[in-house]
Structure 1
């Protein structure tokens, strides 16, 4: 059984819906999940080393990571995530010039810290519909497959 952290920032609730779906899918596959929000659950980036897999969710607007993720992101500089699988997901808005930059930024930082980054960055336009909820479940299953093989 793998131990997975699902940590997210959500402004409108869309990324939270995704995080809940992903977390539920991981639990349904009999893995241990810690479900946390950047806003509500104090977490130190150093805690990432306690997990086999880490799923970082964030909304993405303009050009970078949201303010509530900034400190955590900077604290990642001190980590060695060798042997950890990190995935990113979130709600994005195609109105902006760059689509989902926060997810790309978090994935790049994880890679710099020697994590293995899950190949799919799950980007959903605004609020997920039923089909996209199913995609979130498949995303979680694919992540678990890579994590446990």
Structure 2
């Protein structure tokens, strides 16, 4: 199976913790993971991978974090067909738009021809308890979806 690129942005550590849990789920299925902070990823990095998971916290009223804006803008300029994605994120339900960064990323993936293997995973603030298990399962489910699509 191909490697999975796991890209995340985290301010407080919550989304990074979620990325670690997703990575754990992928690894239990025998998937090799290249996990990178979004500030270390550009268009050429995305082009190297067929299977990509993106993780972002939501900033303010449903926005992508600043760290993700360059990559998002780059994604709008290329054809993502032939690539399989999943998106996860953390957010605060106190805002009108909950985990809007997940929705924004999924929208650009669909618009540019990428395939979403899973419905996006949204977690309130920090992945604890059931959300910890859901995050690990998200990685497992992505790995299984790749095997099926194979």
Q: TM-score, with normalisation over the residues of structure 1? A: 0.92
Match of 2:31 in 1: 31
Match of 2:56 in 1: 58
Distance 1:100 1:44 in 2: 23
Distance 2:109 2:98 in 1: 19
Match of 1:146 in 2: 145
Distance 1:118 1:99 in 2: 21
For the aligned residue pairs, the C-alpha RMSD in angstroms reads 1.3
Match of 1:4 in 2: 4
Distance 1:129 1:106 in 2: 24
CA deviations over 1:9-41 (Å, ceiling 9, x no partner): 0111111001011112212221121100124xx
Q: Number of residues paired by the alignment?
A: 147
Match of 1:76 in 2: 75
Distance 2:137 2:25 in 1: 8
Please state how far the C-alpha of 1:130 moved relative to its aligned partner: 2.2
1:130-145 aligned within 5 A: 130-145=129-144
Gaps of 5+ in 1: none
Gaps of 5+ in 2: none
Distance 2:31 2:76 in 1: 28
